[in-house]
Amino acid sequence: MPDVETLETPELGDRSYVIHDGSTAIVVDPQRDIDRVEKVLDEQHLSCAIVVETHLHNDYVTGGYELAKRTGATYVLSSSDEVDFDRHGVRDGDDLDAGELHLRVVATPGHTYTHLSYVIEDGTSSPTLFSGGSLLYGSVGRTDLLGTDRAEELARLQYRSVRRLADSLDDSALLYPTHGFGSFCSAGPASTNESGTIGDERRRNTALTVEDEETFVRRVLSGYGAYPTYYAHMAPMNRAGPITADPSPVSLLDPDELKKRIAAGEWVVDLRARVAYAHQHLVGTLSFPLEVLFTTYLGWLMPWHSPLSLIGNDEEAIALAKRQLGRIGIDRLEGACVLPIRSIAGDDRTSSYPVVSFADLSAMTDFSLVDVRFDDEWGSGHFDGAFHMPINELLFRTSELPGGRLAVHCGSGYRAAIAASILDAADRDVIFVNDDWTNAAQARIEIVTSARPAD
C-alpha cells in the first residue's frame, strides 16, 4: 500500500497529499505555501516526480505550479483546462508511473466540468482514490461555483461521476478527498474523518444512497447557501499560473502611519483575541481574530485588492496571518503594528463594548437582537423578534438595522466578533454575544423556526 502523508489546511477546510513508495512521490492538490510539502519531501528523502491537480481550484491558490518548477516534477492538469502555462495535459483513462506507483486518471465532472480524480496503486494492495471535489466523506463537492445557471447540469454530472467511481472500486479502496473538512466547496455538511473507504461511502453518502438522480439533484440544489466572494478570483489566478508568494516579513508601521491609514478609510484588521479587542481597540479598526475562520471571513468581506494593514500581539501572529492570506492570493499587506493598543493610540480615543453570554441577555433590557448566521441556521431556529442579517451582507446593510442598542450573535461567537466590530466602527451602540448557539436557551427568549429567513 502506498504511504500517504496528509497536509491539512483547516483554515480553508482542505487537505493536500504526498503519496510515496519510500523514495518517489506524487503530490495531490498542494496549497500555495509549498514549504510544508518540501518539508515532508526533505524529511523522508523523497523525490517529487508528479504533481497533480484534481481541478482548477475555486477556494485557494495552488502551489502545484511552483512546486513542479522547483522540483522538476511533471505538472498534471486536465487537458481540457485552458491555462496560460505549460503542463502535462491528461484525460480519462490516461496512465502515469512514478517509481513503484501507478496513477490512473478518471474524469469526474461535477464540481467543475473538467474535474479529475486519480486512482493510485503500487500493485500490492487495493487502489487508493484521490477524489478532490468529487466524492467527499459523506457528501460531494458543490456544483454551483461556476454559476447557478450551470448548477443543475453539473449536479447531474456529479451524481454520475460519483456513481462511476463507486462502481469501479472495491469497498476496501481508501478514499482521500481534497474538500469537505469545513470548506464551502462541500455540498452540505461532510464528515471530518481522518480517513475513509469506498465501502464507508456506499453506506452513508447521499449520492450513493439516494434512490435516483432526480432526488439527488433536487436535494443538492435546495441545500446551497452563500460562499465566499473571493472564490471568484481563485480559478483565474490558478489558470494564469500563480506567482510565487512573497516570503519577506511584513513591514512594521509606526502608530502615526497606521492611524493615517485608518483615517483614509483603509482596512486595518486587528488579529487579537475577540474579547481583548472588545475591551479596547483603535476606533475604525475591525476585529478578525486569528482563529481557524480568519482567512475565509476576511477574504469574504474585504473588497478585493483593498489596502490592508494588520495589528497583532507579536510578529509571529503577523507572519501567520500573512501565510494564511497568501493561500487565497491576498499578497498586498501595507504593514503591521505589534505595539500594545494603548501605545498605538497615544492620546487618541480608543473604543470598547460589552461582552456577554446568552444567559446574560436575560438580565438586560432595551436592545435589539441581530443574528448574523446564515439562512439555513436561521431557519432551523432563531430568537423570536431577532433581526436577521447574514454576516456576508452586514457591511452593505447596516443602515437597515433598528436604532438603539444592538446585541449581535452568531453560532459560535466568531462571526459575531466581526459583526460587532463593523457596527462599532459605524458608531453603533453594540453588545457582543460571545457564546455558542447550543447555549441559546439560557437567554430565556423564545426560539422559533421558519422555512425561509425573514428580514
Instruction: Measure CA 169 to chain center.
Output: 30
Contact 176, 15 (CB under 8 A): yes
pLDDT digits (tens, 9 = 90+) for 32-54: 999 999 999 999 999 999 999 99
With cut-offs at 50, 70 and 90, classify the pLDDT of residue 216.
very high
Top pLDDT among 2 and 419 is at 419
- Domain span at residue 283 reads 255-351
In a shared domain, residues 52 and 65: yes
Structural domain contains residue 269: yes
- Report the CATH number that the domain containing residue 70 is assigned in CATH: 3.60.15.10
Helices 64-71 & 35-43 angle (0-180, nearest 10): 40
Q: φ, ψ for residue 76 (rounded to 5)?
A: -110, 125
Residue 453 has pLDDT above 60, yes or no: no
Q: Which of 206, 240, 274 is the last residue of a domain?
A: 240
pLDDT digits (tens, 9 = 90+) for 251-262: 999 999 999 999
In a shared domain, residues 96 and 120: yes
Structural domain contains residue 453: no
pLDDT, residue 455, reads 40
pLDDT, residue 451, reads 52
Q: Determine the Cα–Cα distance for residues 334 and 306; give it in Å rounded to an integer.
A: 10
Look-up of cell digits 466523506: 137
Q: Give CB contacts under 8 A, 24+ apart, made by 105-108.
A: 106/164, 106/165, 106/168, 107/78, 107/161, 108/132, 108/134, 108/135, 108/161, 108/162, 108/164, 108/165
Contact 59, 234 (CB under 8 A): yes
In a shared domain, residues 343 and 217: no
Residue percentage of the chain with pLDDT more than 90: 93
In a shared domain, residues 34 and 162: yes
Q: Which of 296, 326, 351 is the last residue of a domain?
A: 351
In a shared domain, residues 88 and 236: yes
Structural domain contains residue 455: no
**Collapsed DSSP state (helix, strand, coil) of residue 290:** coil
pLDDT digits (tens, 9 = 90+) for 88-98: 999 999 999 99
In a shared domain, residues 127 and 91: yes
| Three-point CA angle 355, 356, 362, nearest 5° | 150
Task: Provide mean pLDDT across the span 375-399.
Answer: 96
The conformation of residue 447, written as its DSSP 8-state character, comes to E
Cβ within 8 Å of residue 153, ≥6 positions away: none
In a shared domain, residues 334 and 415: no
Q: Which of 293, 325, 351 is the last residue of a domain?
A: 351
Total tally of structural domains belonging to the chain: 3
